[in-house]
Amino acid sequence: MEARLAEEEDKRKKVEEAEMKRQAAQKKAKENKSKQVKKRANSGRLTMRTQQKSKEQLEQEKSIAMSVRVPPIMGADDMGSSEMLSKIDELWKLIVKRETEK
């Protein structure tokens, strides 16, 4: 009878030890995971900071894009003032349209 009780006690201790080890491993894995998540979040913030452009850079890119999108005025020397104003108005509408498409 005592041998059986001792056996059960040993078994219970082994089960408790195994459970403690399992919980410790689970806690360690959870801590490592949270550290990885923090690292990923911080790395995203760093890349966002490096990707931000200054106002001058944005203006320069905008002017380059608009020069490609908006055709130059052909035959401006031969146009009268009313024709020139209508052409300017037409181009202005085109610029506004392209800007609002973004």
d(CA 82, CA 92): 15
Residue 73: pLDDT over 60: yes
Average pLDDT for residues 28-50, to the nearest whole number? 66
Question: Are the C-beta atoms of residues 73 and 87 closer than 8 Å to each other?
Answer: yes
Average pLDDT for residues 69-82, to the nearest whole number? 75
Residue 92: pLDDT over 80: yes
Of residues 71 and 98, more confidently modeled = 98
- Mean pLDDT in the chain? 79
Average pLDDT for residues 21-33, to the nearest whole number? 82
Q: Kindly indicate the confidence band of residue 93, based on its pLDDT and cuts at 50, 70 and 90.
A: very high
Q: Kindly indicate the confidence band of residue 52, based on its pLDDT and cuts at 50, 70 and 90.
A: confident
Residue 90 in tokens: 């037409």
d(CA 40, CA 34): 10
Residues contacting residue 61 through CB under 8 Å, at least 6 positions apart? 53
Of 20-34, 41-55, 61-75, the one with minimum mean pLDDT is 41-55
Question: Are the C-beta atoms of residues 79 and 87 closer than 8 Å to each other?
Answer: yes
Of residues 49 and 32, more confidently modeled = 32
